[in-house]
Amino acid sequence: MGDRSLVGSKFTWLRNPENMSTSQRARFDELMTCELNTGVAWALKNIFREFWQSQTELRAEVFFEYWCELVDNSGLKQMIKVKELMVRHAANILNYFKHKVSNAVSEAINSKIQLLKASSRGFRSFESYRIRILFYCRKLEMHI
């Protein structure tokens, strides 16, 4: 039987360090002492969180290049694939620092629409679908 140190640790890796309880932190520290590739990937992910704190586009660009170098030096194939994807979209990612706008609101509305669509089991016409979306997203009031 192989190494079972990762069994049941999924949510430990997904939790941000600042949100860990004392017992969760102890479990996490125990996992990190095992020097697993998962720990390296976790560290790279958390280092990248600092990217969003950059004050200028230039600082963000320098940080991005630094992080890419760390990923390359890690030798982790899956992280290198993620880095390559991010490099392909670097111009769009760095655009955030020019405009300080994200598409979070659009994504939230789209999520609501998809939930509505899934729960409705179909509509007879596009117009009734549209009215339901407007009502659900509070852009249409019902006067009785």
* pLDDT tens sequence across 80-110: 999 999 999 999 999 988 888 778 888 888 8
Question: Percent of the chain scored above 70 by pLDDT?
Answer: 94
Q: What is the DSSP letter of 118?
A: H
Question: 6 Cβ partners below 8 Å, 6+ apart?
Answer: 31, 36, 38
> Looking at the 3D structure of the chain, how many domains does it have?
2
Using CA of residue 17, residue 18, residue 23, residue 26, what is the dihedral sign? positive
84 and 111 part of one domain: no
Q: Are 64 and 51 in contact (CB under 8 A)?
A: yes
90 and 47 part of one domain: yes
120 and 71 part of one domain: no
Within-domain flag for 1: no
Average per-residue pLDDT in the chain?
85
30 and 60 part of one domain: yes
C-alpha distances out from residue 27 to 5, 6, 38, 70, Å: 11, 11, 14, 26
15 and 66 part of one domain: yes
Q: Are 120 and 135 in contact (CB under 8 A)?
A: no
Question: Percent of the chain scored above 90 by pLDDT?
Answer: 35
Tens-digit pLDDT profile for residues 26-82: 888 888 887 788 888 989 999 999 999 999 999 999 999 999 999 999 999 999 999
Within-domain flag for 42: yes
Q: In terms of residue numbers, what domain contains 80?
A: 10-99
95 and 109 part of one domain: no
Within-domain flag for 5: no
Per the confidence metrics, is the pTM higher than 0.75? no
Within-domain flag for 47: yes
Within-domain flag for 3: no
113 and 86 part of one domain: no
Burial of 83 (0-12, 13-18, 19+ CB in 10 A): buried
Residue with tokens 């990248």: 48
Confidence of residue 1 (pLDDT cuts 50, 70, 90): very low
**What value does the CA radius of gyration of the chain take, rounded to a whole number of Å?**
22
87 and 51 part of one domain: yes
22 and 88 part of one domain: yes
Does pLDDT of 135 surpass 50?
yes
- What is the arithmetic mean of pLDDT over 14-37? 82
